Structure formats: structure tokens, C-alpha cells
Structure 1
Amino acid sequence: MVKNITPLVCLSVLLMDVVAGILGIQAEIAQNKVKHLKVWILECRDPSYQAFKLGLAAAVLLAVAHIIGNLLGGCICFWSREDYTKATANRQLSAASLILSWITLAVGFSLLIAGALSNSKSRKSCGLSHRRILSIGGILCFFHGLFMIAYYVSAKATIRDQNRPQQKQNPAGA
């Protein structure tokens, strides 16, 4: 049985986030291939089913990577500012990277879903220009992968340090 699955989890989360980012960028490329008419900030364009599928797949992969990283990383929580200031560097890093991963998940997932839904309509749509939504969501997937790996590694180091028995230091000459 494998005792240290950290490299496997990090690789799988990073791989899912990279694939999600690439799919988001490919969805933007597919969206730009359909015909559209743009007048200032208003744009009329046909939906792209390929962009819809790619954007939705990117959003699902991003969510799965986040779920895996959080479930396997454990819970590193602070209940007060005093707890945070007394915490080790690993624990502070895990809390900061957890917050940043949630922010990038919220923004990236929202952009990917909005871009996919704008391509799901069966009729031509006209409205404000929503250019680069899918590619920005795809780029945020790459940052999400970095934050999730930082969270997972620092959370595991924190848990390992908490479970390690405290070694008593003997005074010199005793």
C-alpha cells in the first residue's frame, strides 16, 4: 500500500487544472470561429456547440480538481486572528492558498459556465460583447492548480507536524 500519495494527488490535480485551462482556451477559439457581427459594444453571433461542450468540460474538470484537492488535503481552519498569528508558517500558507484557490475557483468556474451558457442557445443572440470570457476562465484554471498544490502540500505538512510527537529537549550536561 502506498503511504505517501502526495505526488500522485498533486500530479492529478495539476493535470486536471491544465487540461481544464486548455479546454477553456480551445472553447474560446471555437467560439471565435462562428460568424458574428459587431457594432461598438453590441455583438450578434451564432452559438457554437463545440465551444459549449469544451467550456462545460473545462468547468467540470476545474470543479473536480478542487473537490479532490480539498477532500484529500484535509481541513486547516482558523477560528480567530490570534490562532492565525500563533500558527506555523505551513499552516498560514495552507490557509492563504486555500482562500486563493476558492477565489480562483469562484471566478474561473463562473466565467467558464457563463461562456458555455452563452453558446448553448439554439438561436442567434445579440447583446453586449462577451469576448474572452472562456479564455480568461481557462487561464484562471492554471492559477487554481498552483494554489491547490500549494494548499495540499502545506496542509499535509501541517497535519504531519501536528501528528509528530513533541520531542523533549534535554538540558545540556544532564
Structure 2
Amino acid sequence: MAKNIGILVCLLLVILDVAAGILGIQAEVEQNKVQDLKVWIFECRDPSYEAFKLGLAATVLLVLAQVISNLLAGCICVQSKEELDKASSNKQLAFASFVFQWIIMAIAFSLLVAGTLSNGKARRSCGISHHRFLSIGGILCFIHGLFSVSYYISATATIQEDKKLNQQGGHA
């Protein structure tokens, strides 16, 4: 049963991140449908309420995937480089995946929020072009899904390894 739950969690993470990615890219498409006037790197354009809704949904799904991944996988703590060097390959992979997952999440979240907020204004806005924020954020959601699944799998494997070592150590 535990293996089935692991597969379901991984599937859920992939679905959330893929949906977030698709919504982010679709928000960019909707944003590009509005009228704009561009001079060099400055542009004046009308906001797209549809792009705002899609960008907001993508942001929420990305955050939800991050929370689920970190809550269900637990915390794999490494306190020093020496401890990381001595750790099992599963623990090293979990730690690396955890770090990259958070980096990708921070960048994708920032891009999605910036793109979403640029479409949340009630009137025409002028400023530096925000093109591609939503689509790049959406693409990063796909990459976030890979690191989330990698973290979940390696973290749960590390926890199982630790339980086996503790059981063997207790009986010896």
C-alpha cells in the first residue's frame, strides 16, 4: 500500500506542476492578445483579465505542489559538508533535489507573480516590457515537477534506509 501512495503522490506532483506550466503558458498567450504600443524596451498595453486569472491559478498550483512535496517527503537535513560527503547517495540526491527544487520554485514563482500582477491593473499601464514572464515561469513549473518528484522519491528512500539502519542497530 505504501508503494501505491508513493506513486499517487508522484503522479499528483506531476499533474500539479504540468497544469501550472500549461496555465502559465496559456496566460502568456492571453496576455499577447491585448493591444499594446511598444517603443524600444518600453511598452504601453491594456491588462488582460484572462491572463491574470490563468497566471494566478498557475501560481497557486506551483505553491501547492511545493507544499505537498515538502510536507509529504519530510525534511532531509544536512548540517555540514562532511555529513553530506558521508551520506548515502539517496540522501545526497534528496539534498540536491531539495536545493534545486527551492531555487526553481523561487524563480518560477517570482516570474509568475510579476506576469500576473502586470495584468491585474484596472487601467492601461506603461513601463518596461514584461514579455515572456508568464511563459518562462510556466516552463520552469515543468522543471520544478522533475525536482519535486526526485526529492520525494529520494527523501522517502532515505527515511526508509534510516529506519532499516536503526532496526538493525537496535537488534545487534
Superposition TM-score, scaled by structure 2 size: 0.95
Partner of 1:97: 97
Larger of the two Rg values belongs to structure: 1
Partner of 2:66: 66
* Percent identity (aligned): 61
Aligned-residue offset at 1:166: 2.9
Render the CA deviation track for 1:51-108: whole Å, top value 9, x for unaligned. 0000000000000000000000011010111110100000000000000000011000
Residue 75 of structure 2 aligns to a residue in which SS? Answer: coil
Render the CA deviation track for 1:109-163: whole Å, top value 9, x for unaligned. 1110110000000110001111100000000000000000000000010001110
Partner of 1:14: 14
Residue 90 of structure 1 aligns to a residue in which SS? Answer: helix
Q: Which runs of 4+ in 1 moved over 2 A?
A: none
Partner of 1:139: 139
Residues 1:124 and 2:128 aligned together? no
Partner of 1:3: 2
Paired residue type of 2:83: D
Q: Distance in 1 between matches of 2:158 and 2:121?
A: 47
Q: Distance in 1 between matches of 2:168 and 2:36?
A: 66
Q: Distance in 1 between matches of 2:63 and 2:22?
A: 15
Q: Distance in 2 between matches of 1:42 and 1:70?
A: 40
Residues 1:166 and 2:165 aligned together? no
Partner of 1:77: 77
Q: Distance in 2 between matches of 1:95 and 1:137?
A: 23
Paired residue type of 1:166: Q
Q: Distance in 1 between matches of 2:69 and 2:2?
A: 17
Aligned-residue offset at 1:29: 0.1
Q: Distance in 2 between matches of 1:81 and 1:36?
A: 51
Partner of 1:171: none
Q: Distance in 2 between matches of 1:144 and 1:32?
A: 25
Q: Distance in 2 between matches of 1:48 and 1:100?
A: 32
Q: Which runs of 5+ in 1 are unaligned?
A: 168-174
Q: Distance in 1 between matches of 2:44 and 2:56?
A: 22
Q: Distance in 1 between matches of 2:111 and 2:125?
A: 18
Superposition TM-score, scaled by structure 1 size: 0.94
Partner of 1:44: 44
Q: Distance in 1 between matches of 2:106 and 2:60?
A: 13
**In proportion to residue count, which structure has more helix?**
2
May I ask how many residue pairs the two structures share in their alignment? Answer: 166
